[in-house]
Structure 1
C-alpha cells in the first residue's frame, strides 16, 4: 500500500499570521516519520470569494475558477492537518469558506488539528471537528493545542515549539492516529463501490456523471 497523502493546511491568510510557524513545524515532524507523503497548502494561494455558488458542489459544479482549482487540490489527499487560529471562539472565515467550496473531495478522508491562541484554539478546533463530520470526514481524537504563555512566547519571542514538552508528545499521538485513519479509509474507498457522494447537477439541472 502506498503511503497516505496528507495536506497540512495553513488556515489563516492574515498578513501578521502566526500559522506558518506551527504549520511548518508539524509538516517537518510528519515528514520525518517517513510513512506519509506531505504537502503544505496555503489558503493565500486560493483567494476564493465568499461562497456565492448556486449550491454546494455536492449538487452543482462550481463556476469559480479558483474554487475549481481548490477542489482539484483537495481531492488529491487521503487526509488533512488543519492548522488554525481561534477568532472569537471560532475558526477563521477563510477556512470555513474553503471547507464550504468542496464536498465530495473531503468525503471519507481523515482530519487532524493543530490549534493555537486562547485556550490553545480548543473552541475553534471543536467547531472544526463538527464541520468535518458534516463533510463526512473522520477526525482524530488527539489534537495539538499551543496555548497560554507558550503561545505568546512563541508568537512574541520566537520560542522553538520543540521546547514545549507537551507539544511534541501530543503531535506524535495525533500523527499516529492520522496515519491509521488515512490508511484505512484510503483502502476502504478503493475497495468499496457501495458509497458515492451525491451526483452533480449541471446548470440545466441534468445529472453530471
Structure 2
C-alpha cells in the first residue's frame, strides 16, 4: 500500500505543528487508498548539517541522519506541516531536507502551512526545494492563519472549509504518488 509521511516541520518547544499534524492524520486516516504516518523531526535530533561529503555525493552522516534518511526512503510521498518563522521556512525542516538526496526523488508532496500570513513564505521556499530535489509538489495546499484557525494563537480550531481543502490536497498527493510509482520502481531496479 502507498505510504505517505506527515512530516512535522518544527522542533521548537511550544510548537503548534503537532496539533496541525494530528488533524491532518485524523482526516487522512479515513482514507483507504494510502497509509498515513506521523513523522516528527524532533524525534531525530538532527545536528546542524555537518556532513563533509554531501548526500548527493554519497555522504551518509551519523546515526541520527542515517535513521532520518531511512525514514524518508520508506515513504512514497509526503505531507509537510510547516510553520513560517519570519516569513521563512523553519531552519529545522530545511536542515532535515539537506540530509537527504535520492530519497526525495520521484515522490509527491503536499504542504499544510500555518502562520500569520498562512505560511505563504515557507510554502514558497518549500516548493522551490521540492523542485530542486525531484519531489513533485501538488498545486493544492492548505494555508492556516494564526488569527483565524487558532484560538488565542495556541489551540488549533480549523473551520470546516479547511477540511475540504485538506481532502483535496490528500487526493492529489495520493494520485500523484501513485502516478510516480513507475519512476520510483525504475530507479530502484535499474543497474548501477
Structure 1: distance between partners of 2:50 and 2:178 = 34
More strand by percentage: 2
Question: What runs of 5+ residues in structure 2 fail to find an aligned partner?
Answer: none
- 8 Å Cα contact 2:72/2:103 also seen in 1: yes
Match of 2:148 among 125, 147, 150: 150
Structure 1: distance between partners of 2:105 and 2:53 = 17
Structure 2: distance between partners of 1:191 and 1:59 = 21
Instruction: Give aligned pairs, total.
Output: 192
Equivalent residue, structure 2, for 1:40: 38
Shift of the alpha carbon at 1:55? 2.8
Q: Which moved more, 1:70-79 or 1:166-175?
A: 166-175
TM value normalised by structure 1: 0.86
Question: What runs of 5+ residues in structure 1 fail to find an aligned partner?
Answer: 197-208
Q: Which aligned pairs between 1:103-114 and structure 2 lie closer than 5 A?
A: 103-114=101-112
Match of 1:177 among 158, 172, 184: 172
- 8 Å Cα contact 1:154/1:160 also seen in 2: no
- 8 Å Cα contact 1:58/1:104 also seen in 2: yes
TM value normalised by structure 2: 0.93
Equivalent residue, structure 2, for 1:72: 70
- 8 Å Cα contact 1:54/1:60 also seen in 2: no
Work out whether 1:98 is the aligned partner of 2:96.
Answer: yes
Q: Which moved more, 1:97-106 or 1:26-35?
A: 26-35
